[in-house]
């Protein structure tokens, strides 16, 4: 990218009709206080620096190198060709500013922009009555502004990097799976147009508009509660990295009864959330619906009743909004499931890149072998095409970790995949300091290396970014339980299960183990079966152990046979398989005894 300083931007503050420094700083304060930049301190710092340096008359000194040192804390050895942080953040900042001015109101008097080709701020008066850009002009490429970002959604399968060696795998169909993956994703790239809407810059995924929740009672208190819940739901949904939302201001410009299909046509909205609030004696009722804006079909509805507490109305609002946001936004929730169906049906404008992330979620939900190679190959292509897509890097980190930890590749390839996992997860956090998925991948890698304290710290940081996400709760709970901290770990897992509409099977592993250790074999079996139904080898092993505890040996043998087919290592060397997840030695010893009781012949020695 050129580092030139445009003369037209250098002299802005000298022009007689240019905004005053006071007006610019007032506008800067408004922007920094808005939701568009609240989620990224890096972008806030970048905007403040560029504005103040321009106002100070130092436009000619604003270069990528100086920005990297002053804003992003890079060392004097910073090499912009190797580290694109300034270019990427500048592109995201430009999109955030564009989004902000879509919702400009009468208090916004100055337009602040960062014209492409330089990092110098430009100021101009915002004319009263200036029309908002059309819906067509509001649609931008999510990769605009970064030279290392996407080139084109279209790609030729022959240019795909093959992410996996075609050596030994659990099945002999690796070449066929790769070929299918290449053809499918190449087709996705061509068949799904790239439609992006502005809000929540640098995220890829479905676009949602939350309409103002309707107050069904005429009193002012119910109206205020309905408005508050609307705002809370928008803010809670924004915590989920896979979703993009129109802002509070944009939502409240629409009528509660607005036509979702019309919004889909004019604003490129994928889904519309609408609802109502009603106060009955001793009860506050919230009803919400998610509507597919392409068809008008109601794809989800939920109802929540709470006893109003006059002393804690904010707490009640927060609880209600969190319930709605979690149901929609969790990785395995309503929104991603609906978007996956739309992509599969090829009837929705979206990105092949996001489709790859959804595929990776589905693999990590079920751990089906057939999904692994297409998911890893697809993500490998995505980060070449969209180098700034933090969530794709994070999921690539997860899948490379699984390649080694789940024994998906030959043992000699494990170190290379673990190194690739570390690099990918680190990239995610470097690209986006608020990348929840990135922190979760780093936490998993630290745990895999036996650095349990660092893993817990990183996972708690991920959970702090989104306390409503069941996945973040379950990751923390599972790791605590795996190290024997049952009293702290199990409540996190129970919260994750309670908040998830359809929890993945692995959420139940530690619960099954704990019930087995307590001698509650029926409860252990019930939990194990929630995982075994997905074909999980760990779930099948726990079911076999539980059946043995119940003295149902034929059923235990059936589970062992399916376990051996699902993951041969677990039958051949169960101690090594369990230990690959850093499970506490005492827990492993108990599980080995359970497998022996179920009829598994244990090896004389284990590869621990």
Sign of CA dihedral 215, 218, 224, 225: negative
Q: What is the pLDDT of residue 170?
A: 47
pLDDT digits (tens, 9 = 90+) for 446-499: 999 999 999 999 999 998 887 878 889 999 999 999 999 999 999 999 988 887
Helices 436-448 and 452-465 pack at an angle, to 10 degrees, of: 170
The answer to whether 303 and 287 are in contact (CB under 8 A) is: yes
Beta-strand runs (E) in 317-406:
none
Q: What is the pLDDT of residue 517?
A: 95
Residue boundaries of the structural domains of the chain? 7-132, 207-337
102's CB contacts (< 8 A; 6+ apart) are 132, 133, 138, 198, 250
Helices 553-566 and 537-549 pack at an angle, to 10 degrees, of: 170
Tokens of 126: 């915002």
CATH node for 207-337: 3.40.50.10610
CA–CA separation, 487 and 468 (whole Å):
21
Task: Enumerate residue ranges in the chain where pLDDT < 70.
Answer: 1-16, 35-40, 81-83, 102-103, 127-205, 241-242, 246-250, 308-317, 331-333, 335-352, 501, 605-608
Q: What is the pLDDT of residue 175?
A: 39
Q: What is the pLDDT of residue 315?
A: 65
Q: What is the pLDDT of residue 309?
A: 66
- Token match 């999109």: residue? 95
The answer to whether 577 and 567 are in contact (CB under 8 A) is: yes
The answer to whether 413 and 403 are in contact (CB under 8 A) is: yes
Phi–psi pair at 284, nearest 5 degrees: -110, 125
Do you know the residue count of the chain? 608
pLDDT digits (tens, 9 = 90+) for 503-536: 888 999 999 999 999 999 999 999 999 888 878 8
Q: Which pTM does this prediction carry? A: 0.54
């Amino acid at each position: 990218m050129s580092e030139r300083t445009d003369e037209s931007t250098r002299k802005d503050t000298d022009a007689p009709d240019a905004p005053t420094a006071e007006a610019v700083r007032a506008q800067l304060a408004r922007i920094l206080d808005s939701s568009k930049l609240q989620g990224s301190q890096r972008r806030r710092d970048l905007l403040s620096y560029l504005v103040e340096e321009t106002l100070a008359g130092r436009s000619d000194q604003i270069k990528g190198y100086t920005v990297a040192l002053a804003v992003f804390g890079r060392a004097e050895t910073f090499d912009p060709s190797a580290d694109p942080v300034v270019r990427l953040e500048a592109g995201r900042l430009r999109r955030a500013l564009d989004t902000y001015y879509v919702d400009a109101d009468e208090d916004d008097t100055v337009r602040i922009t960062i014209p492409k080709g330089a990092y110098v701020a430009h100021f101009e008066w915002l004319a009263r009555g200036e029309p908002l850009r059309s819906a067509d002009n509001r649609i931008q490429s999510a990769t605009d502004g970064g030279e290392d970002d996407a080139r084109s959604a279209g790609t030729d399968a022959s240019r795909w990097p093959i992410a996996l060696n075609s050596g030994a795998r659990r099945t002999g169909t690796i070449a066929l799976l790769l070929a299918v993956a290449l053809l499918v994703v190449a087709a996705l790239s061509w068949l799904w147009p790239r439609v992006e809407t502005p809000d929540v810059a640098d995220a890829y995924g479905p676009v949602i508009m939350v309409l103002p929740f309707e107050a069904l009672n005429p009193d002012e208190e119910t109206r205020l509660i309905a408005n508050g819940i609307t705002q809370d739901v928008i803010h809670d949904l924004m915590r989920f990295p896979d979703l993009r939302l129109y802002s509070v201001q944009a939502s409240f410009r629409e009528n509660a009864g607005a036509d979702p299909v019309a919004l889909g046509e004019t604003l490129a909205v994928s889904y519309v959330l609408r609802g109502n609030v009603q106060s009955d004696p001793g009860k506050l009722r919230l009803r919400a619906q998610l509507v597919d804006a392409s068809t008008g079909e109601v794809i989800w509805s939920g109802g929540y009743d709470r006893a109003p507490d006059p002393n804690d109305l904010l707490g009640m609002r927060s609880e209600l909004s969190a319930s709605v946001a979690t149901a929609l936004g969790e990785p395995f929730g309503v929104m991603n499931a609906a978007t996956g169906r739309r992509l599969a049906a090829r009837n929705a404008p979206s990105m092949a890149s996001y489709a790859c992330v959804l595929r990776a979620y589905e693999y990590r939900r079920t751990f089906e072998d057939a999904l692994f190679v297409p998911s890893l190959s697809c993500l490998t292509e995505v980060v070449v095409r969209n180098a700034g897509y933090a969530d794709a890097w994070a999921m690539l980190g997860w899948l490379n970790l699984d390649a080694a930890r789940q024994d998906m590749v030959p043992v000699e390839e494990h170190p290379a995949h673990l190194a690739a996992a570390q690099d990918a997860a680190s990239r995610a956090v470097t690209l986006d300091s608020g990348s929840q998925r990135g922190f979760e991948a780093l936490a998993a890698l630290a745990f895999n290396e036996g650095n349990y304290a660092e893993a817990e710290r990183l996972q708690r940081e991920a959970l702090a970014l989104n306390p409503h996400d069941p996945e973040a709760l379950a990751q923390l709970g599972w790791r605590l339980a795996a190290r024997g901290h049952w009293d702290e770990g199990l409540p996190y897992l129970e919260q994750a299960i309670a908040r998830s509409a359809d929890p993945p099977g692995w959420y139940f592993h530690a619960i099954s183990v704990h019930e087995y250790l307590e001698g509650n074999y029926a409860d252990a079996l019930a939990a194990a079966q929630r995982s075994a139904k997905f074909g999980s080898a760990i779930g099948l092993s726990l079911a076999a152990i539980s059946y043995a505890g119940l003295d149902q040996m034929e059923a235990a043998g059936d589970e062992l046979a399916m376990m051996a087919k699902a993951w041969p290592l677990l039958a051949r060397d169960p101690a090594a398989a369990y230990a690959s997840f850093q499970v506490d030695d005492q827990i492993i010893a108990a599980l080995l005894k359970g497998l022996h009781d179920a009829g598994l012949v244990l090896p004389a020695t284990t590869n621990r």
